[in-house]
């Protein structure tokens, strides 16, 4: 078991330590050609070392920046550590970034070498190579399709490893020198630059030291008692801080095994085969599984549907209490037991969640109903609140203190406070070293005494003592009559409905609130199939009057629920429309982590916003769209706007169970 006081202050040092302390235990698995291939810690050290020495042979040196682009594959994780062993700094980039975005990050970070997954990424780099004067070599994992390419700057991953192995075999000094190089590294060194997807403007490079990430990881492992027996699946973007900490640093610190899926679309099957014990996912993943289940159940026979509905109701009533170890009547316990046999167990197994001890949701607020559903059927789902600038952890919910509308207590070693204007601030050992080449931005966020401004508005819930996040501080606005308008709060209520994929609420400094809706193609498409509604495209389905009726019913329910909340009653939705295209990161409407870029959307759909407030019944819009290869097209549409009824404010008499 790695411990704190062995001078293990960098990731390469941890790797060398693990290889001798727990060398025979699995460190990584990857499903390839239908079979799980495994590497022990000792084998992984050998792979990383060979690649690292190969990189040195190809000229990578201390202080250089290199990029990693691709899906979650062992070789890309190894490449990070291999470069770090030389004192170079990895700068992972989102695999689905369009060429232009990629060019910005690579040029800004002055990346000299790239390790990429496949032809697709190589093509993107070639397309923007004239904007990357620093970039020398490109190393690829999968050779497919690259045979006819100019190989003067291209080299295969195994050839680099081959270089390293040859050097190791021929030069007896090589191993010692490499180890000496690792020993030079120290905790305060820059370990990684992670570009945040940035809900506003260009992304910023968050610099994290080894100490930042290792202390955070160690605290997180302690908090949830994670050890070398855990199994996790790595499927979130490599460039996201969550994956970096969770699939890399925490694994190195605790010694647990990280499993890489066969392909992005086999994650659910792969997770089921591995039986992960610790899971980490944005709310979207839990939402999608629930939507998928609901859709499939709608197609099931009447008996199955009845059984499902009955036991889901039982779970909603008793499941959470049983999970929290409260006292529950015997009858409820029996019913829940039967439900577990018939519904919950098989459902959890289907999605590979049977062995999960701790599951986190983070990144966005999760719909309370979705949260309750999962806890109800027995998944220990908890919330945490984190930021790239904090090496993830700011607050997290301890076992047994779970609420659907809070994000937990301050994580170990983290101090959290609320500023006078309601913004959340924190200070911790995980706090970043600054934005790369951007001292002005750093000064805006990081105070001299180490506090970080999160930009989120929140407060401590007096009942639970846990932090509650309302919205982005700058997004919380007021209507023209002074009513508080927290757009995300409303959007989250809308997004609970499986038929609604995304929602944008507008209303700051206006007379009332309006909403733009993205329907969920899986869910609404399945409804259309069952009701003989014919459609040829998203646009056509979105404009269907019956779909409008359906969404109007959902909004009506949301308005009723808003009317029950004193503060929010004035912010009911008066008008809405369904957008003609799905919001997409490629058009800058969502971030790579699928968060709304509100300002940009409101600019882009300006004519629609105007139509909301000038009373028009339809609105014309034409928008430019960007395809993944960078070429552009225009979509034009005429959208209908519906008026909705608002309900008088009334405070709910009974407080709902959390």
Partner 1 sequence: MRAPSSREAALGEALLAVEDVSLAFGGVQALTGVSFDIRKGEIRAIIGPNGAGKTSMLNVINGFYQPQSGRITFKGKERASMRPYAAAEGGIARTFQNLALFRGMTTLDNILAGRALKMRRGFFWQLIRYGPALREEVEHRQRVEEIIDFLEIAAIRKIPVGRLPYGLQKRVELGRALAMEPDLLLLDEPMAGMNLEEKEDMSRFILDVNQQYGTTIALIEHDMGVVMDLSDRVVVLDYGRKIADASPDDVKSDKNVIRAYLGEPHGVSV
Instruction: Give the integer Cα–Cα distance in Å for 47 and 164.
Output: 10
- To the nearest whole angstrom, how small is the minimum distance from the Cβ of residue 260 to partner 1? 13
* 534 lines the binding site for partner 1 (CB under 8 A): no
Candidates 505, 492, 516; CA nearest to 580 is: 516
Instruction: Give the integer Cα–Cα distance in Å for 51 and 53.
Output: 6
* 294 lines the binding site for partner 1 (CB under 8 A): no
Candidates 392, 390, 404; CA nearest to 466 is: 404
Nearer to partner 1, 100 or 628 (CB): 628
In this chain, which stretch among 30-38, 373-381, 427-435, 613-621 interacts with partner 1, using CB under 8 A? Answer: 30-38
Tell me if residue 146 falls in helix, strand or coil: coil
Convert residues 144-183 into a mask of x (bound to partner 1 by CB under 8 A) and - (unbound).
xx-xx-----------------------------------
Q: Which residue has the tokens 């899986």?
A: 522
* 263 lines the binding site for partner 1 (CB under 8 A): yes
* 463 lines the binding site for partner 1 (CB under 8 A): no
Nearer to partner 1, 123 or 564 (CB): 123
Nearer to partner 1, 274 or 473 (CB): 274
Tell me if residue 590 falls in helix, strand or coil: strand
- To the nearest whole angstrom, how small is the minimum distance from the Cβ of residue 171 to partner 1? 36
Applying CB under 8 A, what is the total number of residues that bind partner 1? 13
Rule CB under 8 A: choose which of 5, 265, 440, 481 binds partner 1: 265
Q: Which residues does 385 contact at the CB level (< 8 Å), separation at least 6?
A: 362, 394, 395, 396, 407, 408, 467, 469
CA dihedral 480, 483, 489, 493 (to 10 degrees): -100
CA dihedral 152, 158, 162, 163 (to 10 degrees): 40
Is-contact 254 230, C-beta < 8 A? Answer: yes
Q: Please state, as a whole number, how many other Cβ atoms lie within 10 Å of the Cβ of residue 23.
A: 15
* 626 lines the binding site for partner 1 (CB under 8 A): no
* 33 lines the binding site for partner 1 (CB under 8 A): yes
In this chain, which stretch among 42-50, 257-265, 365-373, 644-652 interacts with partner 1, using CB under 8 A? Answer: 257-265
Rule CB under 8 A: choose which of 123, 262, 582, 584 binds partner 1: 262
Rule CB under 8 A: choose which of 6, 32, 225, 645 binds partner 1: 32
* 63 lines the binding site for partner 1 (CB under 8 A): no
Is-contact 102 125, C-beta < 8 A? Answer: yes
Instruction: Give the integer Cα–Cα distance in Å for 388 and 411.
Output: 15
* 586 lines the binding site for partner 1 (CB under 8 A): no
- To the nearest whole angstrom, how small is the minimum distance from the Cβ of residue 148 to partner 1? 7
- To the nearest whole angstrom, how small is the minimum distance from the Cβ of residue 33 to partner 1? 4
Nearer to partner 1, 269 or 594 (CB): 269
Instruction: Give the integer Cα–Cα distance in Å for 530 and 599.
Output: 37
- To the nearest whole angstrom, how small is the minimum distance from the Cβ of residue 265 to partner 1? 4
* 633 lines the binding site for partner 1 (CB under 8 A): no
Nearer to partner 1, 118 or 211 (CB): 118
Is-contact 125 107, C-beta < 8 A? Answer: no
The sign of the CA dihedral 412, 414, 418, 422 is negative
* 536 lines the binding site for partner 1 (CB under 8 A): no
Rule CB under 8 A: choose which of 5, 24, 35, 173 binds partner 1: 35
In this chain, which stretch among 130-138, 222-230, 258-266, 468-476 interacts with partner 1, using CB under 8 A? Answer: 258-266
Nearer to partner 1, 175 or 263 (CB): 263
Number of H helices, E strands in the chain: 24, 29
- To the nearest whole angstrom, how small is the minimum distance from the Cβ of residue 301 to partner 1? 18
227, burial (CB in 10 Å: exposed 0-12, middle 13-18, buried 19+): exposed
Write out the binding residues for partner 1, residues 112-151 only, by CB under 8 A.
144-145, 147-148
Q: What is the CA radius of gyration of the chain?
A: 26
* 330 lines the binding site for partner 1 (CB under 8 A): no
Rule CB under 8 A: choose which of 43, 179, 200, 266 binds partner 1: 266
β-bridge mates for residue 504, sequence order: 516
- To the nearest whole angstrom, how small is the minimum distance from the Cβ of residue 263 to partner 1? 5
Instruction: Give the integer Cα–Cα distance in Å for 279 and 234.
Output: 9
- To the nearest whole angstrom, how small is the minimum distance from the Cβ of residue 120 to partner 1? 10
Candidates 517, 652, 617, 535; CA nearest to 576 is: 517
- Contact positions toward partner 1, by CB under 8 A? 32-35, 144-145, 147-148, 262-263, 265-266, 269
């Amino acid at each position: 078991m790695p411990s704190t006081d062995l001078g293990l202050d960098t990731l390469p040092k941890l790797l060398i330590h693990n290889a001798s302390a727990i060398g025979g235990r699995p460190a990584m698995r990857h499903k390839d050609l239908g079979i799980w291939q495994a590497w022990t810690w000792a084998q992984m050290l050998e792979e990383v070392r060979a690649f690292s020495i190969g990189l040195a042979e190809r000229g990578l040196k201390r202080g250089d920046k290199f990029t990693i682009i691709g899906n979650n594959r062992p070789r890309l994780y190894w490449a990070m550590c291999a470069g770090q062993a030389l004192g170079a700094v990895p700068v992972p980039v989102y695999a689905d970034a369009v060429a232009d975005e990629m060019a910005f990050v690579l040029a800004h970070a002055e990346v000299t070498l790239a390790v990429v997954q496949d032809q697709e990424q190589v093509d993107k780099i070639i397309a923007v190579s004239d904007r990357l004067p620093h970039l020398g070599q490109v190393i690829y994992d999968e050779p497919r399709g690259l045979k006819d390419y100019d190989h003067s700057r291209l080299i295969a991953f195994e050839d680099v490893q081959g270089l390293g192995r040859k050097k190791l075999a021929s030069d007896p000094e090589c191993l010692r020198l490499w180890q000496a190089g690792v020993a030079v590294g120290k905790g305060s060194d820059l370990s990684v630059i992670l570009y945040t997807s940035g809900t506003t403007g260009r992304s910023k490079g968050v610099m994290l030291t080894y100490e930042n990430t290792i202390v955070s990881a160690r605290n997180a492992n302690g908090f949830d008692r994670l050890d070398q027996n855990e199994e996790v699946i790595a499927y979130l973007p490599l460039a996201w801080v969550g994956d970096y900490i969770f699939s890399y640093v925490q694994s190195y610190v605790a010694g647990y095994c990280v499993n890489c899926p066969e392909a992005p679309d086999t994650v659910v099957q792969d997770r089921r085969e591995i039986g992960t014990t610790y899971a980490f996912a944005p709310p979207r993943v839990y939402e999608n599984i629930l939507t998928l289940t609901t859709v499939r159940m709608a197609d099931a026979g009447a008996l199955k549907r009845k059984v499902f509905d009955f036991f889901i109701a039982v779970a909603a009533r008793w499941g959470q209490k049983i999970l929290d170890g409260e006292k529950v009547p015997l009858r409820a316990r029996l019913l829940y037991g039967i439900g577990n046999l018939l519904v919950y167990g098989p459902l959890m197994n289907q999605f590979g969640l049977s062995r999960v001890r701790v599951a986190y949701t983070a990144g966005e607020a999760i719909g309370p109903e979705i949260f309750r559903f999962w806890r109800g059927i027995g998944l220990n789902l908890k919330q945490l609140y984190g930021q790239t600038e904090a090496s993830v952890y700011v607050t997290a919910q301890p076992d047994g203190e779970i609420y659907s509308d809070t994000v937990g207590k301050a994580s170990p070693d983290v101090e959290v406070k609320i500023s006078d204007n309601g913004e959340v601030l924190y200070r911790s050992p995980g706090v970043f070293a600054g934005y790369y080449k951007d001292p002005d931005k750093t000064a805006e966020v990081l105070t001299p005494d180490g506090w970080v401004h999160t930009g989120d508005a929140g407060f401590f819930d007096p009942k639970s003592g846990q932090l509650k996040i309302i919205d982005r501080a700058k997004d919380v606005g007021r209507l023209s009559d002074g009513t508080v308008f927290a757009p995300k709060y409303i959007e989250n209520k809308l997004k609970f409905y499986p038929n609604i994929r995304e929602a944008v609420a507008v209303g700051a400094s206006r007379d009332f609130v309006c909403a733009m809706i993205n329907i969920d193609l899986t869910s609404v498409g399945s409804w259309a199939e069952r009701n003989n509604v014919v459609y040829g495209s998203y646009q056509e389905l979105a404009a269907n009057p019956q779909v409008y009726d359906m969404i109007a019913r959902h909004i009506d329910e949301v308005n009723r629920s808003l009317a029950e909340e004193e503060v929010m009653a004035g912010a009911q939705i008066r008008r809405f429309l369904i957008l003609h295209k799905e919001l997409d990161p490629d058009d800058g409407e969502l971030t790579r982590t699928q968060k709304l870029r509100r300002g940009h959307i409101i600019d882009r759909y300006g004519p629609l916003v105007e139509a909301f407030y000038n009373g028009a019944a339809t609105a014309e819009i034409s928008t430019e769209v960007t395809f993944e290869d960078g070429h552009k097209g225009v979509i034009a549409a005429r959208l209908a706007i519906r008026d909705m009824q608002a309900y008088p404010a009334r405070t709910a008499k009974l407080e709902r169970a959390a």
